Amino acid sequence: MEQLIADLERSYSGVVKVSEPLAAHTTWKIGGPADLFIVPADAEQLASAIAVLGRHGVPWTVLGRGSNTLVSDRGVRGAVIKLGGGFDSVRFEGNLVIAGGSYSFIKLSIMAGKEGLTGLEFAGGIPGNVGGAVYMNAGAHHSDVSRILKSADIVWEDGSKGTYGNEELHFSYRHSILQEKRGIVTEAVFALEPGDRKEIAAMLASYKDRRLRTQPMQLACAGSVFRNPEGDHAARLIEAAGLKGTREGGAVVSELHANFIVNEDHAKAEDVLALMERVRRTVNERFGILLVPEVLLMGER
């Protein structure tokens, strides 16, 4: 570890922390420490850090804004990379929106609306960053990233970089090539359409109002826990199985939205995992449908 840190300090000028608690970096407020926590400020620093980790055979994973992620109580062995301030940017070129990988997806929808550009309204309730949205092909309200993404800049596991078009990212429901081939989105370009600012603002406001009424956003949670099975909704199945309010330790199935699990009382990752398994088992027994987790599991089990 000492040699690795020394090599990072020689080759990489970004932030490096040892044994950083990840609970502070997730919306569930859950997670043990990362052996190394690396925060590069730009794509060159990112590629340099990945190259050093590769030479030392140290595994790494990337953490965005910490939504849609459950980090193990034991933490993460190896390195966790979180994009720094240099990736938190946005600019507009005609109908194109160019956003850094760490830029808030919700904020991006608001900024696009202020520019009179439509197509990103669905992102108004997705609490992650741009890179995570591309990784997951995030979507809501009958739209998703694949419908508007023109291209993405990616740094791959071997430190190589490139720009990739929509078709090259192999999008499908909540899926992209990034779930098969390890890489980090540093910037994404979205192609939008001209729209009416007032209409866009009204749509975003209606989505926000609905979200506040139907989702436990004031509590520590991570968004939808399970993917919707074809032709149905995970929340409907969980509620129909009588699981609202079900508890494991400090983790509870939300009374407001059955596909949310909230950290109500210092929940641990093992509480959430036990509750997820209980929900999956019960729904499968009742309806013959095995729910697939949408949240990403990170760290040592």
Catalytic residues: 174, 224, 294
Answer yes or no: are the C-beta atoms of 99 and 132 closer than 8 Å: no
Sign of the Cα torsion 75, 81, 83, 86 reads positive
What is the rounded CA–CA span in Å between residue 183 and residue 135? Answer: 9
Q: Give the three-class secondary structure for 216.
A: coil
Q: Which three-class secondary structure state does DSSP give residue 218?
A: coil
Q: Which residues lie closer than 8 Å to 74 by C-beta, 6 or more apart?
A: 32, 299, 300, 301
Identify the bridge partners of residue 248 per DSSP, sorted by sequence position: 251
Q: Which two tokens stand for residue 14?
A: 């970004």
* DSSP bridge pairs for 226: 293
Query: Amino acid identity, residue 147?
Result: R
- Asked if residues 64 and 39 have their Cβ atoms less than 8 Å apart, the reply is no
DSSP symbol at 172: B
Q: Are strands 251-253 and 247-248 parallel, antiparallel or unpaired?
A: antiparallel
d(CA 151, CA 275): 38
